[in-house]
Every structure is written in C-alpha cells, then in structure tokens.
A and B are shown apart, each in its own frame.
Chain A
Amino acid sequence: MALNISLKKPTKIVAAVLGVLTLIVLILIFVTTPKEQPQPGPTASPVAQLQLSQIPPGTASESDVFAKLGQPLNTQPSGTAANILSYPSYNQYNPNEVTVADGKVSFIRERLYDAPDTSLKSRLRILGEDYAQLYGPDSNSGVILFTYPEKGLAFFANPIGDVIFEVWYFPKGDLEQTLSLPEFADYSTQEYYTEEL
C-alpha cells in the first residue's frame, strides 16, 4: 500500500518558510565559519633573537654559534667553503640564516616576518643618517638596503611602508669592503636595475 501524504496549504507554507530559513542559516554558518589557517610551527624565542644579534660576523666562530643558538634546523652548503645554518625566526617558514665560512661567521640574515617591531624609521632615527642606500634586484618593488658599513648592519626594507623585512649582519668595514661581500654582489649605489621581466 503506497504511503500517500498530502499537505494542507498552511503546512506547505510553513514547510517552505522553514526550508528558506534553513537555507539562510546554512549560508550564514558557511560564511561566518573561520577559514582554516596553517598551524604555527616552531619559532624563535625572544632570547634566541637577542643571541642572534650577539654573534659578531667576522670574529664569532661556528662553535660560538652552536653555543648561543644550539643545533640548527638544517645546514646547507653555500659555495665551496661555506655553510648556511638555519635557525628559527619569528615565522615558521622563513628561518634566520647564519653563514659560516672557514669556521667563522661571515654573514647573518635575520628575517622579521611576524616580528613585533619592524619599523625602519625608528631604527634609522636611533642609528643616525650615515647609512648608504643600496639598490638591488628588488628595488623595483621599492625595497632598498639601508646599509651601515661601519656598524656591519643593513636593513632590507620598504621605506614607503616603513617595514623592515630582513636585518643583515656582516663584518664591519667601509662601503667598498661591504660591497665586495658575496651577499652584496647584486647591490650598488646606482639606482638602476639591469634586468627586465
């Protein structure tokens, strides 16, 4: 025997209204549900960040690095006689890098993505205006290297947005010596760029 269900008109209206309301609720749930975000990975503690700035390139040894920072996340060869040691930064995907050549620290790249304070202006105000602006491959994205050769310090930064992306530490010297470092090979004081898309 077939089941025969017939709805009266008011019941149909109620059913239709309920259906529409259900649809609206489902849409709202879909729209307002937070999207899944990547889970944070290991990042550096403030202590580790502080210790990073206490490793002077040119004088610190590889053992100094291990003593201050511990074992690296990984080690990659760079050139013939150098290794790049990766350490946690503020962001899980962009580690800090310590370059060790012939047993000595030659270069440190500190990445500031997700760092609490990335203001370029505030640092320049403290350090003074005797920096050199160096232009490189990312000058067309408004990114300039604000370099203090005598301090062995440079900020890879967007001055328009007042944001530092990376801090570079390298042996102290004059501008000519700094420009001779391999990490500065693509940089010059000239504001032009030789390659195009």
Chain B
Amino acid sequence: MKEPTAIAFIHSLAGLFPNMLLNIFLTFLISFFVFTGTASAATPEELYGFTPASETVHNYTVTDGTTSVQLLDFTGHEKPLPEGYRTDEQYQIALDAWNLEDGGKWARLWPYVPMFSREDVKGFVQAIDEPFQNTNPNPIEVAIPHLARTYEVASALSYILSPYSTDRSYSEPNLSSQWINPAPWENDAWWLGSDESQPGNWDELGPVCDPQQWQISSSGDNAYDSQSNTAVLKTITIDTPPSLREQPLSTPEDCGLKSRQYPCEKCTDSGNVDDSDCFVDQAVRFSPTYFKTFTPFLHAITDRLLTGKNAVFNIFKPFAEVANEDIENWPGVGGEGEPSLAYNFSGGQAEAGNKQDASQAKYYFKYLGTLHCQKERLVAKLQPFLGGVAEIDPQCTGGAPATPTGGQGQPIAGQGCFVFDVGAKDPSKFSRPSVPWETDPAGKANVEMAISLVLKSPTWANLVCGRGPVRLYRVAAIAGGGWARSDQGQIFLYNGGVSNPGTAIYTLAHETGHIVSTRNPTLFTQFMSQGVISRDGGYLRTYPNDKTDFEDFAETAGLYVGVKYYCNPRWCGINYPREYPAHYNFAKEVMFGGLEY
C-alpha cells in the first residue's frame, strides 16, 4: 500500500501550463512514483531537487465537480506507469483497463489530484521590546495559506527552467537583519523614543515609557489576522515645554517658607509653594521596538522566484543585476503624517508607531508584496500569448485596497492609482476650488483615456503609483494644461488640459513626470547624472514656461507619450528622437521600460 505522500504529488495544473511544461511535470510525477511505488533508495530531494514542503499530506477531497473521492481512495487505483511493464503492449493494456475501471471514475478524477501540497503553514509574529518592556510576551501564531504550495511550485519551476548543473543552493536576501523600528518620533518633543525606557524611574521626571503591557489583539481567525494593535498609552506629567513656559514674576512673592516665582505657582496654607499648575499632562504612546514575522519558506520562495541564480522571474537577467535589485518594494508605504498606515517598510526596515492613530498599526510580511506583484507583471506579459486580457492587481501599481485618505474618491480598477476627486483647491495663487468631475463628463472621459495610455508602461505605472494614490482634481478655469502638487500626490487639470484627448494625454504624462521625480528622486538624479540635458544641448523647447531641470524631466515624459497625440502650434511636427536623442532614449529606456507609443 502506498503512503499518502505517494499520491500527493500528482499534477492538477493541466489548465495552468501549456502542454510542453505539462509533459515536463509529468516526468517529475513519474520519477516520484518510481520513488514512492518501488521503495527506491532515492529521496524526494534527489528526485525533485528540493525538499518538499511537508512529508505528510492531508487526505484531500478530490473532485471534478460531480464526483468526489478522498485522496487515500486512490490507493490501488493509481494510473499505471510504463516502467512497471515489460512491453509497450502490456502497458497499453493496463492503461486501457485503468481508463475503464469503475466506469472511468479514476481516470476522470486523476487530473484533479493536487500535484503540490495544499497545506497551510504556521508562522508567528513576535513583538521585540526594549529591556524591561513587555508589550507582548507571547508570539501570535498565524496560519498562512498557499505558501507551502507556492514553495513547491516555485522550486519545481526553478528546477525545470534552469540548467541542472547550476548551483541550487539559495542565499538569504541581503537584508539588514531585522525589521528595525528607527524611533520615528525622535524629533518630536511630544513623543518618546523607544530607547528611553528607564526602569525604576517611571514616576520621576524626564522622558519615560511605561507600556502597560497591552496585548497584540487577535481576530481569532489566524489566517485572516492581519492587524495588530500596538497602542500603549500612558499619561505622564512632565515639565512644561519651553514654548508654554511663563515669564517669572517681576517680584517674587513670599509665601512664608518659600517664595512664589511664577504666576502659575500658588502659596499653600503651610507657607510652601504649590507648583502643580506649572506642569502639563502629556499622553504618550509607545510601540515595541520592532516586529519579527516568522514566515516559513518565504526566503526560499523569494530565492527561487526573484533573487537566486535560478530565479524564475529573472531567468534572462544576469545574476549580478538581480542581486542588486531592491526586493522590498511593497507599494503601500506611508509616512509619519498619514492617519492610517502605521508601518513603513522599505530597505529592509519597518518604521513602527503611528503618531496619529496607533490602533491602526499593521505589519507586513517581507517579500510577499514583491512576489505578488512580480507574479502579476509576469502573468500580464504572458497573457497576450495565452489569450485574454491581462489585469494587474491595482495594488501593484499603487492603488490601495483600503479606503484612500483625505477624500471621497477611490482608485478604480484599470486606472492604477488615479483617483477622480474633488475638494482640494487649486494651489496656484488664485486658489480656485475644484469642481466635481461629473460636471465635465467629456473631460473626464478624455482623462480616463489618457490614464490608460500613460499607464500602459508598467515601468512608468510603478514609478507614478509606487507610493500611493494620485488624486485628480478638475479646476474649471480657462488655463492651459495642469498643475502638480507632487508632495501631496495631487494633479489639478484646467480646461486646456482636458478639452480633447490629445491635450489630456500630453498634460497627464507631463504632470505625472512631476509626481515621479518627487517620489523617485534617484531617477531624477540618474537623468541629471547621465547629462541628458547637456548632451542634447539644452532643455526641450516644447515646454513654454519656466526652464528648469525638473520641468525638463517632466516634459521628457510628457513629450514622449504625447507627441503622437498632441500637436501644439509652437512645436507641431517635432522629430523627438532626432532632435533630442538623449531625452528620447532616456524616456524610452528608463522611464517607460522600452515601451514605444
């Protein structure tokens, strides 16, 4: 009798992979069955090239939608393999018999047997405190679905798609060792640094922390438990800040035993001075120094898909290039002032502690955002070959699944991170109010079309949207183009910027250039370092107003996308690649990832 593991690794991916890959997978299956069915001395590692996620596999339900059996029911009904028969004729007879067995039930259900494990894996989240703090003494266990299967699929793919002779050992991604909370409130007098705990001095003057041992809450459903409450509140009394301090009395007032020096001081009946009104109460919060999330297989998955020598997603890139890529770029990052996003994860560090609302604190699993988005982009690129239309998860182009802050609008599927919004005022000196987009449906349609074109390049879409939503405001003013308030992620569009599709494309591409240079200053630095402007003999002549490096950067993008669709009388007919080759090539290769409009 075969063990359950013998049946576990049977393909169910017929619908997912083209025939060629399926055949290769079948080779693996056969190898595995040789191993499990004949008590071969080979180990699963030798056969697969990687360690399976689990030696024990659950007794899954296998169903084609009409008939259901349990995995163990296949015992004695497995598909025959050629290796078990002396001649092809004998094997064909056995195969025909198996196809007809029990009315063909086993042959019909065979493709639905899972090839890879479907087990959830358990990880845990641990809050790491400073000495003498005790935010949460017990790690919270979380069950994480899909990871075991992802690990096995990724490993199998990596094994299949890369040469057998190459080194298969994976390496740890280059991270700083932990998710370190860099005490983001260190410059704010109203917040205390996490390193200022002073045991034994909590009731004395000076900055202290008393975290009160609040627990990280759990929803009760580990698989869905994605939020942790790290708020720790304590009201302490500290010295009046200098900005609130009073001027001393011109003449001290004798209270008997002591003298009253400040207006806030009072004389007591005993002749002393009561200075309690000279102090203020401050509510302070404290967060654990950092979280650790322990996620099985994740580093191995990352290695097989993204960072290793045989990484599936990077199979045509030199390893030196892969090794230098930043893999921590989950798009949803937040800053100190944002009201809902508490943890800012980049460069291997997580910034913990939200000043506005600590109850919203969240943690992230490292690598998962990147893995998910890389998969989305890969599928989007492959989709045209497989048929159908690719849709990238909006989160991967900056659209947040949660309600955006600061307005009523929502990111719209297919529109990346753009939000049609109303409420903000035109930041020019005229301070004109924005109007609802519904008042200009034709203009909105032009902008929607422009969005689809501008975001056609995944490279540009990620640069624009990689740090959150971009809000679009309609300002009903007879003015040309638009205006970007990049630090706020806002673009204001005037009549001239939406009146026809061409101007909408040109304007939006230009204004997103401002967003990109703000959100990706290293790209602007690259633009300058490569001497794009000086190599072309100066700024693009198409931008009519201030000639600055940053306007030229934005115009480089605006002209690249818009030159085909917009014809300004001042420069209509310009030959962009010939007249400004450095600008054009930078736009094409760096900004837009090779995509030609």
| Contact A140/B514 with A93-B535, A193-B427 known, Cβ cut-off 8 Å | yes
Question: Digit string of B540-557 for contact with A (CB within 8 Å is 1, else 0)?
Answer: 000111101111011000
Distance of A35 from chain B, by nearest CB (Å): 9
Q: Which residues of B contact A69 (CB under 8 A)?
A: none
A192, B426: Cα distance in complex, Å: 9
**When chains A and B are docked, how far (Å) is the Cα of A38 from the Cα of B222?**
53
Contact of A140 among B431, B485, B543, B544 (CB under 8 A): B485
> Given A93-B530, A196-B428, A196-B479, is A141 in contact with B518 using a C-beta cutoff of 8 Å?
yes
* Interface residue count on the A side (C-beta < 8 Å): 33
User: A131 at the A/B interface (Cβ < 8 Å)?
Assistant: no
Contact B483 A197 (CB under 8 A): yes
Decide yes or no whether B138 CB sits under 8 A from chain A.
no
B530 and A195 contacting across the interface, CB-CB below 8 Å: no
Distance in angstroms between the alpha carbons of A114 and B531 in the assembled complex: 12
| Contact between chains at B531 and A192 (CB < 8 Å) | no
User: Residues 481-524 of chain B: 1 if any A CB is under 8 Å from the residue's CB, otherwise 0?
Assistant: 11111110000001001000000000100110010011111101
What is the minimal beta-carbon distance from B399 to any residue of chain A, in angstroms? Answer: 20
Distance of A158 Cα from B335 Cα, bound (Å):
15
Q: Does A64 contact B (CB under 8 A)?
A: no
With the chains together, A186 CA to B545 CA distance in Å?
A: 13
> Are the CB atoms of A137 and B480 closer together than 8 Å?
no
B528 CB within 8 Å of chain A = yes
Q: Establish whether residues B483 and A140, one from each chain, have CB atoms under 8 Å apart when the complex forms.
A: yes
Contact among B187, B497, B529, B548 for A93, CB-based, below 8 A? B529
B487 contacts A192, C-beta separation under 8 Å: no
Binary B-proximity of A82-100 (CB < 8 A = 1, otherwise 0): 0000000001111000000
Chain A residues lying within 8 Å of B511, measured Cβ to Cβ, are 197
B428 touches A158 (CB 8 A): no
Contact of B521 among A93, A163, A190 (CB under 8 A): A163
Is the CB of B388 closer than 8 A to any CB of chain A? no
Report the separation of the CA atoms of residues A186 and B497 in the bound assembly, to the nearest whole angstrom.
25
How many angstroms from the CA of A194 to the CA of B548 in the assembled complex? 15
Least CB distance from A110 to B in Å reads 14
Q: Say yes or no: is B243 at the interface (Cβ < 8 Å to chain A).
A: no
Q: Are A141 and B514 in contact (CB under 8 A)?
A: yes
Q: Does A19 contact B (CB under 8 A)?
A: no
**Residue from B335, B486, B525, B551 in contact with A165 in the complex, judged by beta carbons closer than 8 Å:** B525
Are the C-beta atoms of A196 and B480 separated by less than 8 Å?
yes
* Minimal Cβ-Cβ distance residue in A for B526: A113
Q: Taking CB as reference atom, which chain B residue is nearest A164?
A: B521
B519 contact from A28, A94, A160, A196, Cβ within 8 A = A160
CA A143 – CA B429 in complex, angstroms? 18
Known contacts A31-B316, A192-B429; is-contact A138 B479 (Cβ 8 Å): no
Q: Which of B295-323 contact A (CB under 8 A)?
A: 316-318
CB atoms of A160 and B546 under 8 A apart = no
Which residues on the A side are within 8 Å of B524 (C-beta)?
A: 141, 158, 165
Q: Name the B residues within 8 Å of A117 (CB-CB).
A: none
Return the contact of B517 from the options A142, A186, A190, A194 (Cβ within 8 A).
Answer: A142
Contacts A93-B528, A196-B480, A197-B510 hold; do A141 and B545 have CB atoms under 8 A apart?
A: no
* A141 adjacent to B534 (CB under 8 Å): no
B545 to chain A, nearest CB (A): 5
Q: Which of A92, A140, A160, A197 contacts B507 (CB 8 A)?
A: A197
Whether A138 pairs with B551 at a CB distance below 8 angstroms is yes
Residues of A within 8 A of B431 (CB): 192
Enumerate chain A residues within 8 angstroms of B485, measured Cβ to Cβ.
140
- By the criterion CB–CB under 8 Å, are B531 and A92 in contact? yes
Known: A160-B487, A161-B521, A197-B481. A192 touches B529 (CB 8 A): no
Q: Complex: how many Å from CA A89 to CA B316?
A: 37
Chain A nearest Cβ from B426, distance in angstroms: 9
How far is it, in angstroms, between the C-alpha of A12 and the C-alpha of B318 when the chains are bound? 33
> A197: which of B318, B497, B530, B534 is its contact (CB, 8 Å)?
B497
Which residues of chain A are within 8 angstroms of B543 by Cβ–Cβ distance?
Answer: 197
Q: Would A93 and B534 count as touching, CB distance under 8 A?
A: yes
**CB of A32 within 8 Å of the partner chain:** yes
A143 to B548, CA, bound (A): 12
Residue of A nearest to B487 (CB): A142
Chain B neighbourhood of A195, CB < 8 A: 545-546
> Given contacts A28-B316, A142-B518, is CB(A196)–CB(B529) below 8 Å?
no
- Across the interface, which residues of A come within 8 angstroms of B520, CB to CB? 161
Q: What is the bound-complex CA distance between A10 and B371, given in angstroms? A: 43
- Judged by a CB distance under 8 angstroms, whether A102 is at the interface is no
Given known A-B contacts A31-B316, A32-B318, A93-B535, A197 and B525 have beta carbons under 8 A apart: no
Q: Which residue of A lies closest to B547 (CB)?
A: A137
Cβ-neighbour of B428 out of A93, A94, A125, A194 (below 8 A): A194
Chain A residues with Cβ under 8 A from B187's Cβ? 125
Residues of A near B544 (CB, < 8 A) are: 197
Task: Please give, as numbers and ranges, the residues of chain A lying within 8 Å of B482 by CB-CB distance.
Answer: 196-197
Please state if A140 and B528 are interface contacts (CB–CB under 8 Å). no
Known: A160-B518, A161-B521. A94 touches B318 (CB 8 A): no
**Nearest chain B CB to A164 CB, angstrom units:** 10
Determine if A194 and B429 form an interchain contact, defined as CB atoms under 8 angstroms apart: yes
Could you tell me the distance in whole angstroms from the C-beta of B256 to the nearest C-beta in chain A? 43
CA distance A125 to B186 in the complex (A): 11
Partner of B525 from the list A113, A137, A186, A192 (CB cut-off 8 Å) is A113
Q: Assess the B518–A161 pair: CB atoms within 8 A.
A: yes
- For the complex, give the distance between the alpha carbons of A27 and B316 in Å: 9
Minimum CB–CB distance from B425 to chain A (whole Å) comes to: 10
In the bound complex, residues from chain A placing their C-beta under 8 Å from that of B427 are 191-193
Contact with A along B311-346 (1 / 0, CB 8 A): 000001110000000000000000100000000000
Inter-subunit contact B546/A94 (CB<8 Å): no
Does A140 contact B429, Cβ atoms closer than 8 Å? no
With A93-B528, A141-B517 known as contacts, the answer to whether A196 contacts B545 (CB < 8 A) is yes
| Residue interface mask A165-197, B partner, CB < 8 A = 1 | 100000000000000000000100011111111
Bits for A111-147, please: 1 = Cβ < 8 Å to B, else 0: 0011000000000010000000000011011110000
Supplied contacts A141-B486, A196-B545, 18 more A-B pairs, CB within 8 Å? A31-B316, A38-B530, A93-B529, A93-B530, A113-B528, A141-B517, A141-B554, A142-B518, A158-B524, A160-B335, A161-B520, A163-B522, A165-B524, A165-B525, A196-B481, A196-B482, A197-B481, A197-B507
Hey, which bits of chain B sit against chain A, CB under 8 A? 187, 316-318, 335, 427-429, 431, 479-487, 494, 497, 507, 510-511, 514, 517-522, 524-525, 528-531, 533-535, 543-546, 548-551, 553-554, 558
Can you list 15 pairs linking A and B with CB atoms under 8 Å apart?
A91-B528, A93-B533, A137-B546, A140-B483, A141-B524, A158-B521, A161-B521, A192-B427, A192-B431, A193-B427, A194-B429, A196-B483, A197-B481, A197-B543, A197-B544
- Closest 3 interchain pairs by CB? A93-B531, A197-B481, A142-B518
